[in-house]
Amino acid sequence: MIKVFSTIETLSTGIAELFASAAEQAVASQGRFSALLSGGETPRRTYELLAQEPFRQRIPWNSIHLFWGDERCVADTDPRSNAHVVRQTLLDRVPMPERQIHPITCDGSPQTAASAYETSLRSHFSDDKARFDLVMLGLGDDGHTASLFPGTAALREQHHWVIATQKPGEDIMRVTVTIPLLNQAGLVVFLVAGPGKASVLRRVLEGPLTPDLFPAQRVKPVDGGLLWYVEESAARLLSPGIHTRGKM
């Protein structure tokens, strides 16, 4: 389902609402809520809103576990670090137990970091299915998501849940979750904003299925939901009628 919001603020509020209600439902039914967070700029405002009322009070922080969908192999104080962004915008402002915050630490070899993260995921989900209650993903203007870039081996990984990879042309290494992990989720929501994403969004949603070129097309939860929360300027090239209106 595709929901269009008039501004980044209403989009971010919509995602914060989705996060809060998914957390309330998961904690009520299974005693905990496991979420996989997205990097990039788009979710920043959502993280800030989650740290403010009414969400701060509403969310059962003591029963929440946060993981990341990908990380760049940089110092954890580096502004490029996805975990650093979430610490600044959210985690330093809410009462979450540190043992429930699971950043990808990639200070040694990226391969070692990837297998260590996979081990932590397998122990969190007691090894069989990595069924995140909520996965937040962004969409790059080349159609990538997490750090699954077009034409890379990471995109075709069928066994591991986490692997080391690199953005073509970037000098640093990255660690990313893989398609097999993402497609086990209970609910995936893509966050897309800005006029620069209009063309790639239409290509991903309405163009031919070419997932090697547009990795986001590979995200199809096996028995979970898939939502697209899109800010208006990013939705402007979509065919009318394929989306509903979020809160304006």
* Minimum CB distance to ligand 6PG, residue 23 (Å): 21
3-state helix, strand, coil in the chain (%, to 5): 40, 20, 45
| Amino acid letter, 196 | G
Contact 216, 144 (CB under 8 A): yes
**231 in contact with ligand 6PG (CB under 6 A):** no
For residues 106 and 115, give the distance between their C-alpha atoms in angstroms, rounded to a whole number.
11
Q: Which is nearer to ligand 6PG, 47 or 55 (CB)?
A: 47
The dihedral over CA atoms of 203, 206, 210, 212, expressed in degrees to the nearest 10, equals 50
**110 in contact with ligand 6PG (CB under 6 A):** no
Q: Which is nearer to ligand 6PG, 20 or 104 (CB)?
A: 104
Query: What is the helix (H) or strand (E) element at residue 55, kind and residue range?
Result: helix 55-58
Tokens linked to 9: 């603020």
Number of residues engaging ligand 6PG in binding (CB under 6 A) = 15
Q: What angle do CA 171, 175, 178 make, to 5 degrees?
A: 130
**12, 34, 38, 183: residue in contact with ligand 6PG (rule CB under 6 A):** 38
* Minimum CB distance to ligand 6PG, residue 154 (Å): 12
155-174 binders of ligand 6PG (CB under 6 A) = none
**39 in contact with ligand 6PG (CB under 6 A):** yes
Burial of residue 32 (number of CB atoms within 10 Å: 0-12, 13-18, 19+)? middle
Task: Mark the segment that binds ligand 6PG (CB under 6 A) among 2-10, 38-46, 92-100, 157-165.
Answer: 38-46
**12, 13, 46, 82: residue in contact with ligand 6PG (rule CB under 6 A):** 82
For residues 59 and 23, give the distance between their C-alpha atoms in angstroms, rounded to a whole number.
7
The pattern of x and - marking residues 49 through 78 that bind ligand 6PG according to CB under 6 A reads --------------------xx--------
**19, 23, 40, 189: residue in contact with ligand 6PG (rule CB under 6 A):** 40
Strand order in the sheet with 134-138: 101-102, 64-68, 33-37, 134-138, 187-192, 225-231, 2-5, 244-245
Query: What is the helix (H) or strand (E) element at residue 244, kind and residue range?
Result: strand 244-245
**42 in contact with ligand 6PG (CB under 6 A):** yes
* Minimum CB distance to ligand 6PG, residue 236 (Å): 16
For residues 92 and 112, give the distance between their C-alpha atoms in angstroms, rounded to a whole number.
28
Q: Which is nearer to ligand 6PG, 63 or 157 (CB)?
A: 157
* Minimum CB distance to ligand 6PG, residue 153 (Å): 17
127-156 binders of ligand 6PG (CB under 6 A) = 138-140, 144-147
**Which residues in this chain contact ligand 6PG in the complex, by CB under 6 A?**
38-42, 69-70, 82, 138-140, 144-147
